[in-house]
């Protein structure tokens, strides 16, 4: 019959150990024999059983000490489904597994959600990290943890390209940073060198200005080549960078002394240009193509390419033919200003999360941004301008990234605020109504100005009451 006494002895030893806490020194074998009236063999089996379970450690010349397993922190990474992609989700899951195996104290679970953020946050316990390209909208809601409260925040930021970090607060001395970028995006103009050459166009520099873009489109259509790819629904991000370029960097919404105002003085010129660009029948509807028509050799140019074009052109083996340049200026010799987009991470604030849980979430965020290998893996799945300084310096040596690097240095990063969100939705709707012929340019501009101004008036009134 098997000796089962050692199991009872080990259980009682374990209870005593938990009562005393980590590093509690367990009784010696001789002492166990006396305490429980068992043989030396049983005492030894009891201690070996705890050792096999990795609940105790034996230190030569010191004895046996209680070493309880540290409680793992459960981290849920929330990704809105509308902003996710299979490659991005796979990346997060893979990095979560790598981080968990290295830290030994965290478990990362990646979860896509369709419903509102509050429902996703409250669905299950655990500290949450939110991924979003619009983190600024949550900055003044109190839902995010200020990252600058972590003791190694400054050291961490020193490893990153921090020029487009977002800071929020009522005064310069009370601003907080609530999000960490994973990477940056910038709009560029891309075209096929071989097609431009066949049409007698400037293959080295691309279009010199907006009028030249329209000339390229006209020459392309006459030459039997589709000019560009166009979006026809408001779900597509509208060409914000062209408005910046037109206005010299002035955004739709400005804030002075806590009061928002709306500016759309250049709206007619901006929309009119895209009505002209959309008017060429040979353009390809974005929704009709599973893969980008420029990379498939079907169009002459793409007026709104993003960093994905670098890796995708290499994947298709057409990188030697695809030229990337900054957004053409409104007039030759003018300025080109791109909107800088961000993909960011933030920690959801919850009373149930203690300092150790928040710290574990922060450490995972640092892994994604500061770890050079993690950033390299991200660029393969989701190309962007790297936030990691080491990887960013590598991109600077790659000529394919030069237009993006330059756009990052001269571009403007909009600081997302709740007031901006409604304004952008209104502009997108009427912009696409105008370029699709459902509204005149005058009608679209009138609706945009009237609706957005009213929205900002209500926001100013709200802030006057509660801020």
* Contact (CB, 8 A) for 422 and 137: no
Residue-by-residue pLDDT tens, the chain, 467 positions:
345 788 889 888 887 887 777 788 999 999 999 999 999 999 999 999 888 877 888 888 889 998 876 677 889 999 988 877 778 889 999 999 999 888 777 889 998 888 677 777 777 777 899 998 777 777 767 788 999 999 899 999 999 988 778 887 766 567 889 999 999 999 999 999 999 999 999 999 999 999 999 999 999 999 999 999 987 665 566 789 999 999 999 889 888 887 889 999 999 999 999 999 999 999 988 766 668 899 999 999 999 999 999 989 998 999 999 999 999 999 999 999 999 988 899 999 876 777 888 999 999 999 999 999 999 999 888 889 999 999 999 999 999 999 999 999 888 886 566 678 788 889 999 999 999 899 999 999 999 999 999 999 988 887 665 55
Structure token pair of residue 164: 């487009």
State how far the Cα of 187 lies from the Cα of 407, in Å rounded to an integer. Answer: 8
For the stretch 47-84, pLDDT in tens is: 998 888 778 888 888 899 988 766 778 899 999 888 77
Q: Please report the domains of the chain, with CATH numbers, ordered by start residue.
A: 5-66 (1.10.10.10), 73-183+343-384 (3.40.190.10), 188-337+414-466 (3.40.190.10)
pTM of the predicted protein model: 0.79
- Give the β-pairing of 188-192 and 106-113: unpaired
Structure token pair of residue 254: 């400005």
Residue 65 is given by DSSP the state: E
Structure token pair of residue 28: 């010696």
Beta-carbon contacts of 173 under 8 Å, excluding residues fewer than 6 positions away, are none
Please state whether 352 falls in left (phi above 0), alpha (psi between -120 and 50) or beta. alpha
* Contact (CB, 8 A) for 383 and 308: yes
SS3 call for 76? strand
């Amino acid at each position: 019959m098997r000796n089962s006494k050692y199991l009872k002895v080990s259980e009682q030893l374990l209870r005593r150990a938990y009562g005393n806490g980590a590093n509690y020194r367990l009784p010696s074998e001789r002492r166990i024999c006396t305490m429980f009236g068992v043989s030396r063999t049983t005492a030894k089996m009891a201690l070996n059983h705890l050792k096999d379970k990795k609940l105790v450690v034996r230190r030569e010349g010191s004895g046996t000490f209680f070493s309880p397993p540290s409680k793992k922190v459960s981290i849920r990474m929330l990704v809105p489904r509308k902003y996710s992609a299979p490659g991005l989700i796979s990346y997060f899951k893979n990095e979560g597994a790598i981080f968990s195996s290295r830290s030994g104290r965290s478990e990362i679970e990646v979860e896509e959600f369709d419903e509102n953020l509050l429902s996703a946050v409250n669905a299950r316990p655990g500290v949450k990290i939110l991924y979003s390209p619009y983190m600024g909208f949550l900055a003044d809601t109190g839902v995010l943890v200020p990252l600058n409260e972590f003791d190694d925040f400054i050291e961490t930021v020193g490893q990153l390209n921090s020029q487009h970090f977002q800071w929020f607060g009522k005064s310069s001395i009370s601003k907080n940073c609530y999000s960490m970028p994973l990477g940056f995006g910038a709009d560029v103009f891309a075209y096929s060198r071989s097609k431009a050459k066949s049409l007698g166009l400037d293959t080295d520099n691309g279009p010199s200005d907006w009028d030249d873009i329209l000339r390229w489109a006209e020459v392309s259509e006459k030459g039997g080549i589709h000019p560009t790819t166009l979006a026809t629904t408001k779900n597509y991000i509208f060409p914000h960078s062209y408005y910046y370029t037109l206005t010299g960097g002035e955004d739709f919404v400005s804030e002075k002394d806590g009061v928002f105002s709306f500016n759309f003085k250049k709206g007619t010129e901006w929309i009119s240009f895209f009505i002209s660009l959309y008017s060429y029948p040979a353009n390809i509807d974005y929704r009709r193509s599973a893969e980008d028509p420029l990379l498939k050799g079907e169009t002459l140019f793409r007026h709104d390419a993003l960093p994905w074009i670098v890796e995708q052109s290499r994947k298709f083996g057409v990188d030697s033919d695809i030229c990337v340049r900054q957004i053409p200026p409104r007039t030759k010799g003018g300025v080109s200003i791109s909107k800088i987009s961000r993909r960011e991470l933030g920690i959801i604030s919850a009373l149930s999360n203690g300092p150790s849980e928040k710290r574990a979430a922060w450490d995972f965020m640092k892994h994604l941004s500061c770890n050079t290998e993690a950033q390299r893996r991200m660029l393969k799945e989701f190309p962007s301008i790297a936030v990691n300084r080491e990887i960013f310096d590598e991109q600077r040596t790659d000529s394919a990234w030069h237009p993006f690097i330059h756009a990052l240095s001269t571009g403007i990063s909009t600081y997302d605020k709740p007031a901006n969100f409604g304004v952008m939705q209104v502009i997108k709707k009427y912009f696409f109504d105008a370029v699709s012929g459902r509204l005149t340019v005058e009608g679209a501009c009138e609706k945009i100005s009237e609706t957005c101004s009213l929205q900002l008036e209500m926001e100013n009134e709200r802030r006057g009451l509660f801020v």
